Amino acid sequence: MPKKTVEDIDVKGKRVLLRVDFNVPITENSGVISDDSRIRASLPTIKYLVDHKAKVIICSHVGRPAGKVVENLRMAPTARRLSELMGLPVSMASDCIGQEVESKIGALKEGDVLILENLRFHPEEEANDADFAQKLARLADIYVDDAFSTAHRNHASIVGVAKYLPAVAGLLMEKELKVMGKLLHNPERPWACLIGGAKGSDKIGLLQNMLKKVDMLLVGGGMAATFLKAQGYEVGHSLVDDDQLDLARKLLQEAKDWKVPFLLPVDALVAQEIKAGASTRVVPTTSIPAGSHIVDIGPQSIELFCSKLGRCRTIIWNGPMGICEIPQFAQGTRSIARFLSTRNATTIIGGGSSAEVVQAMGLADKMTHVSTGGGASLKFLEGITLPGVEVLLDKK
């Protein structure tokens, strides 16, 4: 069911509590934001509210302070950066609830923007505490959720507050739901799902759901080791989800039964140690040395994957092909990113590390959509209803 958005309601003069995901990397000593893409992603919604004369109250979390005040996880750097991007003054509250915050909000004029302090400085946020949610709701007349990336969390600022305020989607949330929804219900075919990353346990459910929908599945990255081991191959010291081996075998068999191509790497870059400067070599995935680690897909796998993906009209990619934080092990991931950026097809990057790589390579604008989601994207594509979406008002 489509959800109501900020464009479906009257916000003029209203206090709008806007949940965003400003969980950006902040350099500890300088307070400099090294990647502001998440802030930029919510600019359309913030500008819409300002232009329509709402009193904008922004809330978010940064990091994992575990319910305590952590100085280097304060929201002040995001307030400064948002002010620079908007070309408007953005004020900062010393907390996210309480009398002082309510007084600041009471002084807001139409079109003003205020950022609340880190929600996770209060343990009640992640506990979805009802009293905390009510205190947040008391700050506003309307709740707008523009944080798709946190929509899989059952937290007070995501789910709890929607019980006490009219709750609608922001423009970024709307975009994410439309793009991901089309993938599940009306993709242009043939379409492929390329999955990587370190562990398969987080993505097995996604593979199970995708198997019933896609025309092709490709698995690389560390999680390929689980499927290789499930077929009886040596994978050395590579990370394997041993408790998922039976399920991996089942998925491989189901792919055969459904006649869905299920591609694994045919060669791999291996190293004795996972560190920069380690000695490496390329070997067939059927001949991984016992004492080694799989650190990337090999050149034949890159060529194979690109060849197969080149035939597709829709491609979603989630998870790197190797340990890409070490440049020496990033060739597979970077090659896939460059290839997808050249395709005349619908290319969707499913958040997380894949999105970070695409952003860092300056290729984001060459993709159809780079999701802010990560974990939320995985859950959505797995077919799971996201609690942060479920609580929003339906259009009908």
| Residue keyed to tokens 């991007």 | 85
> Mind giving me the DSSP string for 21-50?
-----B-TTT--BS--HHHHHTHHHHHHHH
Query: Tokens 């575990």 appear where?
Result: 66
Alpha-carbon distance of 389 to 114, in angstroms, equals 24
Tokens of 360: 């860092």
* Residue owning tokens 């896609």: 214
The total of other beta-carbon atoms located within 10 Å of residue 72's CB is: 13
Is residue 218 within 8 Å of residue 197, measured between CB atoms? no
* Contact partners, residue 38, CB within 8 Å, separation at least 6: 20, 21, 22, 23, 24, 149, 372
Assess whether 199 carries a catalytic annotation. Answer: yes
Choosing from 352, 373, 374, 388, the catalytic residue is 352
DSSP assignment of 212-256 equals TT-SEEEE-STTHHHHHHHTT---TT----GGGHHHHHHHHHHHH
Torsion angle of C-alpha atoms 11, 12, 13, 16, degrees rounded to 10: 20
Among the listed residues 38, 135, 175, 229, the single catalytic one is 38
- Catalytic residue, chosen from 199, 213, 338, 366, is 199
DSSP state of 4: P
Point out the catalytic residue in the list 31, 205, 310, 375.
375
Gap between the Cα atoms of 226 and 24, Å rounded: 32
Signed CA dihedral, 299, 305, 311, 314: sign only: negative
- Catalytic residue flag (residue 352): yes
Residue numbers annotated as active site: 38, 199, 352, 375
